[in-house]
Amino acid sequence: MTGPLRARLAGLARALLPRPCPGCGAQLGAQAGLCSDCRAALRPQVWAHSPLRPHPAPHLLTLGPYAGVRRRAVRALKFGGARDLAPVLGAALAAGVPPGWEVAAVVPVPLHPARQRERGFNQAEALGRALAEQLGVPCVNALRRTHAGAQQARRRAAEREDLQGAFGRSAAPLPPGPVLLIDDVLTTGRTAWACQEALQAAGVSVVYVAVVAR
């Protein structure tokens, strides 16, 4: 079966089967992932302030706060297995990447292998592949997680673990140039900071970060 034919059949199946939009509950029809109104709510913005930089500088790309459409979409992707959300969210993020960042590769935040087996996939990798495709650069699993730890999003800030040393460089080769680290949500920033530290220790000079929400 050819790619265009497969896409047409998938669109027909979506149109015939009633499915609610994960963002608002309206019927999706033939659309994949999110309805038009929810897609319009995904507005990329670049931040200069975050725990990832000691001094203000544009470095963090998000689609907005972790609320509303963004929160529901992240949860549907992460816990509901709605993988057709990844291309929608990835494309929305790609539209906001400044050309001046000159991103050479997209690097997803890794899950520990045990947690990935439990979930069945890594949502950051799904987002990263969609984002990288839009940017025309490789998505590289350049990091590995050395211990599972607890889910940061489900713990109070005071209880969140120190993630220093929790990530290491994998054997996957990276092209030279700035890297765009991708994850679903930025909470305290400790996970992204630890990944950034691991990449910089491996010789990556510039690390930017993209998340669906913060």
Residue-level pLDDT at 41? 93
β-pair type (60-62, 207-213): parallel
Residue at 23: amino acid letter:
G
Model confidence pLDDT, tens digit, residues 144-165: 998 765 554 454 544 445 676 7
Model confidence pLDDT, tens digit, residues 18-48: 789 999 999 888 788 999 999 999 999 999 9
Q: What is the mean pLDDT of the chain?
A: 88
β-pair type (60-62, 45-47): antiparallel
Dist. CA 3–CA 36, nearest whole Å:
24
112 — pLDDT class (breaks 50, 70, 90): confident
Q: Both tokens of residue 79?
A: 């816990």
Cβ count within 10 A of residue 179: 27
Which residues lie below 8 Å from residue 198, measured CB to CB, with a gap of 6+?
143, 167, 168, 169
Q: Which H or E element spans position 183?
A: strand 179-185
Of 96, 99, 124, residue with least CA distance to 109 = 124
